[in-house]
């Protein structure tokens, strides 16, 4: 008697057996345990704190705040992205481990919001610097809207490819990754030169 | 002490450096003064018996078209009275003596006015940008400011 035959037998352990691919099981686990970065930018962050609090109870989605980008699965861009902050956000995003996701919360980070015309200091949409998975509209969004966005992100993670991802990657994506690697290498060299210039002199003295 | 009394006290002490008093209803009563002597006037307002402005509420920069203005909002917690001091400087030489050492909280206020409007506070010990990135070009709250197209490779316009 095989495993499949026992599935429908109510007197056996059939009710406790589930069958699926490894990818399904991994994605199921990942989608129910998303850790996010403790990171807020503007008034959307206040609304997000309401999501965190007892009434909306964000932790029932398996979401735990983490203080380090190395430990987080997704980042919530909650508020106005100023040009000064945009560079920091990009750096934080690059420090996160793959697979990583971005939730853009509110009009400001979606498209610049009320600063779209005269905001000389505002980035008009965070998707100009990092890829966004889910956009949540609102100014700021209600906690219900945020939870809906979270459910959408979970369903996205649940239906994601893991194993064939590299093989199915388009040539444009490969080129973009190679390009970024070259840029990062250049940044590393610049930093090394800068460090030598400033700190090695101090040590000699 | 009423605004007019404060104005008369200043007028007796500083004479021509005190330009006018504006008591239009609906606005904060404001005294316009000559920027060259602003530090002495502020010290007088702070230390003189009966005036004793010990709480500098705010310092703002204003673009008035041809001129730049600086507005000092002062309050006295001891005497419970308030006054607004205004100065104007031309845009091509916006030099105002720094009142940083009169009230230390004007340190960052003056840096903000410098950052956004380009008022040059002469004598400030650390006059550099406070809000914008250090390599930003121009002073964005001026009326003739033109937005840049790109900043560090990021497009600024929508």
pLDDT in tens, B74-94: 999 999 999 999 999 999 999
pLDDT in tens, A118-160: 889 999 999 999 999 999 999 999 999 999 999 999 999 998 8
Whether chain A has a CB inside 8 Å of the CB on B132: the answer is: yes
What's the average model confidence in pLDDT over A166-176?
85
- A34 in Cβ contact with A61 (< 8 Å): yes
Which position has the token pair 């995003």? A93
Rounded (10°) CA dihedral A194, A196, A202, A205: -140
What's the token pair of residue A108? 């400001």
Per residue, what are the HEC states of chain B? CCHHHHHHHHHHHHHHHEEEEECCCCCCCEEEECHHHHHHHHHHHHHCCCCCCCEEEEEEEEECCCEEEEEEEEEECCCCEEEEEEEEEECCCCEEECCCCCCCCHHHHHHHHHHHHCCEEECCCCCCCCCCCCCCCCCCCCCCCCCCCEECCEECCC
pLDDT of residue A4: 65
Whole-number Cα distances in Å, A108 to A83, A120, A125, B153 = 12, 13, 7, 20
> pLDDT exceeding 70 applies to what percent of chain A?
88
Q: Please, which residues bridge with residue A108 across strands?
A: none
Q: Is the pLDDT of residue B113 over 80?
A: yes
- Mean pLDDT of chain A, nearest integer: 87
Burial class of B114 by CB neighbour count within 10 A (0 to 12, 13 to 18, 19+)? buried
B140 contacts on A by Cβ (under 8 Å) = 120-121
Q: Contact A120/B152, CB-based, under 8 Å?
A: no
CA dist., res. B22 & res. B58, Å (int): 19
Do A120 and A129 touch, CB atoms closer than 8 A?
no
Q: What is the ipTM of this complex?
A: 0.79
> CB A84 to CB B156 under 8 A?
no
Q: Per-residue pLDDT averaged across B50-66, rounded?
A: 92
Give the pLDDT mean for A13-26: 75
Domains of chain B and CATH, by start: 3-155 (3.30.460.80)
Instruction: Return the pLDDT at A160.
Output: 84
Measured between CB atoms, does A123 come within 8 Å of chain B? yes
Is the pLDDT at A13 greater than 80, yes or no?
no
CB contact, 8 Å: B157 with chain A? Answer: yes
Extract the tokens encoding A117.
């015309």
> What is the predicted pLDDT for the residue at A2?
66
Q: Write out chain A residues lying below 8 Å of B158, CB-based.
A: 111-112, 116-117, 124
Contact in structure between A153 and A104 (CB atoms under 8 Å): no
Put simply, whether A83 touches B (Cβ < 8 Å) is: yes
């Amino acid at each position: 008697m095989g495993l499949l035959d026992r599935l429908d037998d109510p007197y056996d352990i059939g009710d406790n057996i589930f069958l699926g691919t490894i990818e399904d099981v991994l994605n199921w686990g990942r989608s129910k345990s998303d850790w996010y970065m403790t990171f807020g930018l503007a008034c959307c962050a206040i609304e997000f704190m309401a999501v965190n609090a007892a009434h909306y109870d964000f932790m029932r989605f398996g979401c735990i705040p983490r203080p380090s980008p190395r430990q987080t699965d997704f980042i919530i861009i909650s508020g106005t992205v100023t040009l000064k902050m945009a560079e920091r956000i990009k750096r934080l995003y690059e420090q996160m481990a793959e697979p990583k996701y971005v939730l853009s919360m509110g009009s400001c980070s979606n498209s610049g919001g009320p600063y779209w015309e005269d905001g000389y200091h505002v980035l008009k949409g965070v998707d100009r610097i990092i890829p966004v998975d889910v956009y949540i509209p609102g100014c700021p969004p209600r906690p219900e809207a945020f939870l809906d966005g979270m459910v959408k992100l979970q369903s996205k993670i649940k239906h994601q490819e893991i194993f064939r991802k590299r093989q199915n990657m388009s040539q444009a994506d490969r080129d973009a990754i190679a390009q970024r690697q070259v840029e990062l290498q250049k940044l590393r060299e610049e930093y090394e030169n800068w460090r030598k210039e400033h700190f090695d002199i101090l040590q000699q003295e | 002490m009423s605004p007019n009394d404060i104005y008369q006290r200043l007028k007796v002490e500083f004479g021509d450096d005190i330009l006018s008093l504006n008591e239009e209803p609906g606005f904060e009563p404001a005294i316009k003064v000559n920027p060259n002597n602003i530090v002495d006037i502020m010290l007088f307002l702070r230390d003189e018996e009966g005036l004793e402005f010990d709480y500098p509420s705010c310092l703002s920069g204003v673009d008035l078209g041809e001129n730049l203005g600086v507005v000092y909002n002062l309050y006295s917690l001891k005497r419970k009275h308030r006054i607004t001091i205004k100065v104007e400087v031309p845009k091509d030489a916006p030099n105002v003596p720094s009142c940083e050492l009169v009230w230390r909280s004007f340190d960052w206020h003056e840096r903000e006015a410098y950052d956004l409007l380009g008022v040059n506070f002469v004598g400030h010990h650390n006059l550099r940008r406070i809000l914008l990135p250090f390599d930003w070009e121009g002073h964005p709250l001026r009326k003739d400011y033109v937005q840049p197209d790109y900043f560090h490779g990021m497009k600024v316009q929508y």
